[in-house]
Structure 1
Amino acid sequence: MNRKSQSARSFPPVPVIIPHMNPIPRLISKTKLMRGYRCLKCIYLTIHEPALEAPVTPDLQALFDQGNLVGDAARKQYAGGELVDNKPWDFTGALARTRELITAGSPIIYEAAFEYMGCYARADIIQYSPETKRWRIYEVKSTTKVKPEHLDDVGLQAWIMAKSGLPLEKIHIVHLNPDCRHPDLTHLFVEVDVTERIRENYLEIKPKVKEILTVIRQETVPDIDIGPYCLSPTECGFTSHCWPEKKVPETSIFNLPGLREKKWQLYYEGIIQLDDPRLRGLNDLQERIVTCFKTGERYLDRDAVRSALAAWKFPLVFLDFETINPAIPRFAGCHPFQHIPFQFSVHVWQSPDSAVTHLDFLHEADDDPRPSLISALLDACQTQGSILAYYSKFESDRIRELADFSSEHSEALVNLLERLADPLEIIRASVYDNAFAGSFSLKRVAPALLGQAYSYEDMLVANGGDAQRAYEELVSARTSPERKKLLKKAMLDYCEQDTRVMVELVKWLFNVCRA
C-alpha cells in the first residue's frame, strides 16, 4: 500500500501537537532513518515521543544478538581488517577513527562510520581496491536471501558514504548460505552484487531523506494512517499507540485468519468491526468466527469431533519438541536456521479408563543433542497408538530431519510419522470460542476451553523463544550451578505444560462427544 492510499481513512485526521518537542539530534543514525522509510509517523515518534514505543522484547533482542554473531562470523571471511571499536553512541569518535584508518591506508575496515547532511551510517565491512582506488561495501544480513528492505537499507548507507566523499566501486549484500552444511563453514556466506539495483533508485534517496528531516522538524505529528508497514517486515514498536488512535477494537477484522491483504482493503473502506453488515466474501472459518462474535456463543460440532476422534488409536502419545535454530550451524550436517530438538515431553494415555503417565528428555550439554534424544524419543513413543502433536507439521518435520540424520534409527523414526495426528485440526474445524480471538494457538485455546489454570502466565519459561534462550544459558560454561538448576526446572515445567494441556484438551473433546 503506497502512501497516497493512506488518504482513504476511516476517521477524520486530528492534528496532534507535541507540546515540548525534543531537540533534533545533530546526527540521525541510518537505523532511525529507515524507520522514516517505513512510516513518517514512526520516525517522528522515535525522535519526539520515544517513551510511547514498546520496550524491546526478549525475542527481538535475541534477533539483535544473532545479527551480531553473524556479523562477527563475516569478519572472519573478510579477514585482516581494522575494527572501528567505538561505543554505539560515540558517533564523533567513530567518525574520527574511520578517517584515521582510511588515511593510514587500511585495506579493510569493519564498522566504518560516515556522515552526510546529518545522516549517520556504519558499514559492516568496506574493502579498498588498489586497482580502481575505490571502495567496496559488504553489508551483512542474518538471513538466507536478499529481502526488499535490505535494498533500501544498503542504498541509504551507500548514499551517505558516497556523499561523505568515499569513492565507491561495488555494493554487496552478504547473507547466509542456505546450502552451507556443518562442519564445512567455508561457504557460510553468499555475496550478492546489488550495485545496479541500488543505482536504479539512487536518485530517489535524497528527496526521501529531505522529506524525513522536514517531517521531524515540524510541530505536529504527521497524519499517517496505519497500514501493512505497521506489521511488516516486523511489528512497529508504536502499534500499541497508533492503533488505538484509529479506534481499532481488541477484536476486529485483523483477527480473522487467512484474510491476508484483504484486511487492509476492508480497513481502508472503513470496515473494521466484525459485526459490520458490509463484511462479505468470507470463507467458512471466517464466517464462523464472525457468527460467534455476533451471538456471543461458542461453536461446537460434536458429530465432526466424534468422527475425527474415531480415527485415533490408543494408547495416545502426546508429543512436544523444543528446538534451537542457530543462524550459524553447530552440528554435523546442519544448515543455517535448521531446527535441532534438544528437549521433548511425552504424556501417554494407555486407555480411556487408565491414568496418564509422563516422560521427558532434556539435553544438558553443549554438544549435539540428537543422538541421545533419538534413543529417548523412540523409547517414549512406544510402538503403537496415535502420536498427538499440536500443529503436528512442526513435529513431523523435526522427526523427518532426525531420520535423515540417523541412518541407524531412520526406519523407526519414519514409522513415527505414520502415527501422527493433530488435535489442532479438530479444534480449527469443529470448535470456536470468542476467547480464541481468531487464534488457534495452544496458549490461546487452552485457557479458553479449560480455564486459566491451563494458561502459561507467570512461568519463567513461557514460550518457545524463552526455551531457546534458557537452553543456551543452561549449556553455557559461564552459568552457575544454581542458575542451571533453576533453568532446568523451568524448561521441564514448560515443555510438560504443553503436553499436559494437550491431554486435557483431548479429554475435553472426548467429554463433549458424550454430552
Structure 2
Amino acid sequence: MIQTHSSNRRFGLSKSKITAFEQCPKKLWLSVHRPEVAEQDDGAEARFATGNTVGEIACALHPGGVMVDPPSLSEALAKTSSLIMGGHPGPIFEATFEHDGVLVRVDVLERLESGGWTAAEVKSSGKVKDYHRGDLATQIWVMREAGVELKRAAIRHIDTSFVLSREGDYAGLFTDADLLGELYDTISARPEVVAEARSVLSGDEPRKEMGDHCNAPFICEFAAYCSRDLPQGPEWPVTLLPYGGGKRWLERGVDDLLDLAEADLNDRHARILAATRDGIPFHDAEGARKAMSGWGWPRAWLDFETVAPAIPRWLGTRPFQQVPFQFSLHLERRGGRMTHHEFLSCDGSDPRRACAEALVANIPTGATIIAYNAAFERSVLRALATSFPDLAPRLETMAEATVDLLPVARNHWYHRDQRGSWSIKAVLPTIAPELDYGALEVKDGGDAQAAWFEAADPVCDPLRREALEEALKTYCARDTWAMVAVARSLAGS
C-alpha cells in the first residue's frame, strides 16, 4: 500500500471542503480565511449528534471492526496502513488516507474474501443525495491513488422501511447504494477540482454573485456576509407572491410588486397587491363565517408537537416517523365556554400510547377537531390508530372529523405584514399582536423538538427538565389559542 503526499501543504483539503468548493468557491475561501464572519448554525449541534449516533450504530453492526482514532494525522495514516498491510480481517472504521494534500476518512472499509475492498460512507439520510456522490467520488479517488483496490463503494444510508422490533437491534437499519460504476467521470475529474479549489484558496477572496447555490445543497453560513453590500431591493418585492408567483415577473425584469397591476394577476395575487399597496387588509368576514358554518360542536382546537428521530427509539417505530410527544387542546362548547387540556411526555419513554389515551379521554365523541394545516394532525391521528387497534375506531373518527383553519385564513384574510405567508406565526401578529411568540423560550416547532431531546436525555438536570416542560406547555397552548383568536377575528367576532 502506498501513502502519497503533496509538497503543497499550505491548504489541506478534505471531502467536506471540496463539497463546499463545489457549492461555491467563495464559501470555501471564507471558511478557511474568514471563518469569523459565518453565521451561527443553530441546528448544527443536533445534526452533528445525529450523525455521531448513526455512525456509532453502523460500527456496532460490525463487532470485529477496528477504529482508527490516534491523536495525530500521521499516526492515523500509519495505523490504517498497518491494518491493511497486516491483513486485518475485519472492517476498519475511519480508515485514513491522503493524496495530493487531500485527506479522507472512510466510515467503513471492509476486506472482501475474493480480494480487494469495499468502502461505505455512512449517511443519516433516508436516500442518496446529490452531494453524497461528490463526497464518495473524492474518497474513491484518494483511496485508489493510495493503492487501495476498491471493488465496491457505497453510500450506506438509512432504510426508511426498517421497523425496530427488538430493543437495541438495528440489524437491517442501513442499505447500501453502490455508486462505484456510475461515478467514473466524477472521479476522473477530481484532480482538476482539487487544483481549482487550491487555486481559489491561494488567491484573493473570489467574486461570486448570490443565487440559488446559496441554499443548495446547504444553506450557506456566509449568506449575510455576502449580502452586506448588495443594493437594497424594493420594500415589497414580487417574490412575496406565493407559490413561486414572483418568478415569472423577475424573468421579465420586474422586481417591485407595486409596479404590477391587479389586472395582470390572479385573484389571490391581486388581493396581495391591493393590501400591500393600500395598507388595508383584505378581510372577507362573511366568506370566513360561511366557510366555518358547517363546523359542529363541541370544537376541539388541536395541535401536536412531534419528534422524528433518524434512529427509531421505540419498538414498532420507523426511521423519521413522526411521534407525538405533546398536544394542546382548547375545547370549546357551544356558547363559548372554553377548557384547556394538554398532554406532554418528556421522560424518554414511548409517548404514543399515553398520547392516544389522552386524546380519547379529552376529545368528546362527535367533536369537530380544528387544526392549522390539518393534514399533519390527521396523519398523526391515523398513525396512532394503526399502532393501537383497540383505540383505532375513535382515532380514525377524529381524523375524519378534523377540519383545516389554514384555507379559511388563506381565502379570506391578508395583511401586508404577512409578506406572502399564511403560516400561523405570520397571520397571528396581524390579528392578535398581543399573542406574539417572541417572548417565549420555545418559539417554534424546531425549538420544541430541541427542548424535547434535551429534556428526554437521562443526564438532564431535573430542574432544567421541569423548566423545559413548562416552556413546552406554554408554547403548545399558545398555538391552539392562536387558532381560536384567528378564527374569531376572521369571523368578525
TM-score of the two chains, using structure 2 as the length reference: 0.91
Deviation, structure 1 residue 325: 0.7
Q: Which residue of 1 aligns with 2:187?
A: 202
Of 203-212 and 427-436, more deviation after overlay is shown by 203-212
Residue 19 of structure 2, aligned match among 17, 22, 34: 34
Residue 498 of structure 1, aligned match among 476, 479, 483: 479
**Structure 2 residue 194 is the aligned partner of structure 1 residue 233:** no
Contact 2:412 2:490 in 1 (8 A): no
The secondary structure found in structure 2 opposite 1:211 is helix
Aligned-partner Cα distance in 2 for 1:244–1:450: 33
Structure 1 pair 124–414 and aligned structure 2 pair: CA distance change class (3 A): same
Aligned-partner Cα distance in 1 for 2:265–2:214: 24
Structure 1 pair 117–251 and aligned structure 2 pair: CA distance change class (3 A): farther
Deviation, structure 1 residue 321: 0.6
Aligned residues: 481
Residue 469 of structure 1, aligned match among 437, 450, 454: 450
Aligned-partner Cα distance in 2 for 1:49–1:61: 21
Deviation, structure 1 residue 242: 2.5
Aligned-partner Cα distance in 1 for 2:265–2:81: 60
Q: Which residue of 2 aligns with 1:291?
A: 274
Aligned-partner Cα distance in 2 for 1:278–1:446: 28
Residue 139 of structure 2, aligned match among 143, 146, 157: 157
Structure 1 pair 270–93 and aligned structure 2 pair: CA distance change class (3 A): farther
The secondary structure found in structure 2 opposite 1:290 is helix
Aligned-partner Cα distance in 1 for 2:68–2:251: 47
Q: Which residue of 1 aligns with 2:379?
A: 397
Contact 1:24 1:47 in 2 (8 A): no
Contact 1:123 1:157 in 2 (8 A): yes
Deviation, structure 1 residue 267: 4.8
One-letter identity of the residue aligned with 1:256: L
Q: Which residue of 2 aligns with 1:509?
A: 490
Structure 1 pair 279–55 and aligned structure 2 pair: CA distance change class (3 A): farther
Contact 1:41 1:224 in 2 (8 A): yes
Q: Which residue of 2 aligns with 1:172?
A: 154
The secondary structure found in structure 1 opposite 2:258 is coil
Deviations 1:464-487 (A, max 9, x none): 222222222323321222112111
Q: Which residue of 2 aligns with 1:114?
A: 97
Contact 1:297 1:433 in 2 (8 A): yes
Q: Which residue of 2 aligns with 1:55?
A: 40
Structure 1 pair 371–44 and aligned structure 2 pair: CA distance change class (3 A): same
| Identity of matched residues, % | 32
Q: Which residue of 1 aligns with 2:5?
A: none
Aligned-partner Cα distance in 2 for 1:51–1:496: 39
Q: Which residue of 2 aligns with 1:74?
A: 58
The secondary structure found in structure 1 opposite 2:93 is strand
The secondary structure found in structure 2 opposite 1:399 is helix
Contact 1:171 1:193 in 2 (8 A): yes
Deviations 1:183-211 (A, max 9, x none): 15321111111111111432222222222
Contact 2:413 2:490 in 1 (8 A): no
Contact 1:271 1:279 in 2 (8 A): no
Deviation, structure 1 residue 338: 0.2
One-letter identity of the residue aligned with 2:429: P
Q: Which residue of 1 aligns with 2:424?
A: 442
Q: Which residue of 2 aligns with 1:13?
A: none
The secondary structure found in structure 1 opposite 2:316 is coil
The secondary structure found in structure 2 opposite 1:408 is helix
Deviations 1:60-96 (A, max 9, x none): 3212211211111111223311112256xx5444334
Contact 2:262 2:270 in 1 (8 A): no
**Structure 2 residue 139 is the aligned partner of structure 1 residue 131:** no
Structure 1 pair 150–30 and aligned structure 2 pair: CA distance change class (3 A): same
Contact 1:136 1:170 in 2 (8 A): yes
Contact 2:140 2:187 in 1 (8 A): no
**Structure 2 residue 391 is the aligned partner of structure 1 residue 406:** no
Q: Which runs of 5+ in 1 are unaligned?
A: 1-22
Deviations 1:93-133 (A, max 9, x none): 4334333433433342111222222222211111123532x
Aligned-partner Cα distance in 2 for 1:232–1:281: 32
Residue 176 of structure 2, aligned match among 164, 169, 191: 191
TM-score of the two chains, using structure 1 as the length reference: 0.87
Aligned-partner Cα distance in 1 for 2:76–2:10: 16
Contact 1:183 1:330 in 2 (8 A): no
Q: What CA RMSD, in Å, does the superposition of the two structures yield over aligned residues?
A: 2.4
**Structure 2 residue 426 is the aligned partner of structure 1 residue 420:** no
Residue 454 of structure 1, aligned match among 427, 432, 435: 435
The secondary structure found in structure 1 opposite 2:257 is coil
**Structure 2 residue 198 is the aligned partner of structure 1 residue 217:** no
Deviation, structure 1 residue 391: 1.0
Contact 2:257 2:273 in 1 (8 A): yes
The secondary structure found in structure 1 opposite 2:367 is coil
Structure 1 pair 248–127 and aligned structure 2 pair: CA distance change class (3 A): farther
Residue 356 of structure 1, aligned match among 338, 342, 346: 338
Structure 1 pair 317–445 and aligned structure 2 pair: CA distance change class (3 A): same
Q: Which residue of 1 aligns with 2:67?
A: 83
Aligned-partner Cα distance in 2 for 1:224–1:407: 57
Contact 2:158 2:174 in 1 (8 A): yes
Aligned-partner Cα distance in 2 for 1:286–1:139: 46
Contact 1:177 1:188 in 2 (8 A): yes
Contact 1:24 1:217 in 2 (8 A): no
Q: Which residue of 2 aligns with 1:478?
A: 459
One-letter identity of the residue aligned with 2:456: V
Deviation, structure 1 residue 163: 2.2
